[in-house]
Chain A
Amino acid sequence: MRITIKYFGLIAEVTQCEEETIQFSGHLISEVLEILHSKYTELKNKNFQVAQNQELVFLETRVTGQELALLPPFAGG
């Protein structure tokens, strides 16, 4: 399946892009992160949460094939 991944803040600085679409044949969020960690080695040193369809998810959550986002620490207000 194809999934769109959005990057924000310091994560977008690491990836050098704000959004990309990847081909994914696994099942879990953790497997998506494995792909991203090998593509962007510096990600391992960064603190972020993952959202799927605008809700925070866990590493063992199943990928449902829509929109993921890597969210660095929040700084609103």
Chain B
Amino acid sequence: MTDKKPKSVFKQGAISSEFIGESIAKHQTKTSIGAHNIFLGQVRADVIDGKAVAAIEYTAYEDMANQKFSEIREATFDKFELTCMHIYHSLGIVKAGEICLFVFVSSPRRKVVFEALEYIVEEIKAHVPVFGKEIFEDDSHQWKVNN
């Protein structure tokens, strides 16, 4: 059984550990799955010129981003033998230490989930138009760039 229907990727604010836990629990009925793999992106309190990042405010070109997420989802199902895949990304303010990206892949066997997860995360970072305003403790800011 494959789960290919488009889902909304963006969530307002941080992704809670309760939400992540519930997502895992929901898969207990899918007994063909033998391996899950999860990536959690966490906002890092980088220190730049003596000031620490307190939060990142995410914005996106949502129409294009949803289309890119959908293309990444299609390409991933074509390349890898996955049972299901879930991607959630935050919009708005996410404080340092909170989760801003949750990618969850499942397959009958383990090898494929390691490869698929890395592929998805790298594709998201390279191709999805999401923008991050790094807000420092003194309310000044700079714009984050993926490298």
Contacts and interface: CB of A to CB of B under 8 A. Distances in A.
A9 B143 CA distance: 7
Contacts of A76: 58, 60, 65, 89, 101, 124-125, 128-130, 132, 146
Contacts of B89: 76-77
Q: How large is the interface on A (under 10, 10 to 19, 20 to 34, 35 or more residues)?
A: 10 to 19
B121 A77 contact: yes
Contacts of A72: 131, 143
Nearest to B64: A54
Contacts of A9: 59, 131, 133, 143
Q: How large is the interface on B (under 10, 10 to 19, 20 to 34, 35 or more residues)?
A: 20 to 34
A55 B133 CA distance: 23
B144 interface: yes
A75 B130 CA distance: 6
Interface of A: 6, 8-10, 51, 54-55, 69, 71-77
30 contacts: A8-B59, A8-B61, A10-B131, A10-B143, A51-B64, A71-B131, A72-B131, A73-B146, A74-B125, A74-B130, A74-B131, A74-B146, A75-B58, A75-B130, A75-B131, A75-B143, A75-B144, A75-B146, A76-B89, A76-B101, A76-B125, A76-B129, A76-B130, A76-B132, A77-B41, A77-B89, A77-B101, A77-B121, A77-B125, A77-B130
